[in-house]
Amino acid sequence: MTTSQTEQTAPQGFTDACDAVRVLLRFAGYDPDQPVIRDTPGRVARALADMTAGTRDDPRTYLDRVFPEQGADGLVVVSGIRFASLCEHHMLPFSGTATVGYIPRDGRLLGLSKLPRLVNVFARRLQLQERLTEQIARTIHEDLPAKGAACMVTATHTCVSVRGVTQPHSTTVTRAWAGCFRDDPEARLEFLGQAESSPDW
């Protein structure tokens, strides 16, 4: 990559980020000037900018376009939404599947693609799985707005699977309820029934 290409696409602080990666490479016992890893600092900096792009994105953008449909008040569930995120403790990836549901208010329907887009805005940040799950449900409830929203996330964390405790088969399931789901056990059961019967592509 030429310097001008780097400057065009580089987020602010790119050079400092590359220098920091060079320090980390030395810490790990590598010479960052070795030809085979000379471009690695730039790749790592760009990958980090990519994986945290959601920090610089406004989730409400994806809730702006609503399709009004009188009488639409039934639970809508989109499942099998793949995501990848970074745990805020180790900056290592965790990834998995989200199921998102909402009960429309006043027939305010969302385009189906917007639910995966919303998941991605919150996933592409330094995250906790619990916060990711909560933010998705709360944002749909408050900003669509909807009568209620629910989210279930199943993920594996590389900080658990490949380092430290090294549990490659452990998965974590988190759920969050907002609005009418909080005090309506039947709505929760309906959501969970849909979530658990959906094929995990």
Ligand X SMILES: Nc1nc2c(ncn2[C@@H]2O[C@H](COP(=O)(O)OP(=O)(O)OP(=O)(O)O)[C@@H](O)[C@H]2O)c(=O)[nH]1
Which residues contact ligand X (rule: CB under 6 A)? 87, 89, 128-130, 157, 159-160, 164-165
Q: How far apart are CA 183 and CA 172, in angstroms?
A: 24
Shortest Å distance, C-beta 159 to ligand X: 5
> Which CB, 130 or 200, lies closer to ligand X?
130
Q: How far apart are CA 156 and CA 4, in angstroms?
A: 38
Closest CA to 139 of 152, 127, 154, 121: 121
Per-residue contact string for residues 51-90; x = within reach of Zn ion by CB under 5 A: ------------------------------------x-xx
The β-bridge relationship of strands 126-127 and 76-87 is parallel
125 binds, among Zn ion, ligand X, none (CB under 5 to 8 A by kind): none
53 binds, among ligand X, Zn ion, none (CB under 5 to 8 A by kind): none
Residue type, 14: F
Shortest Å distance, C-beta 153 to ligand X: 9
Whole-Å CA distances, 176 to 13, 26, 37, 105, 113: 36, 42, 42, 19, 21
Shortest Å distance, C-beta 128 to ligand X: 4
Binding positions for Zn ion, rule: CB under 5 A: 87, 89-90, 159
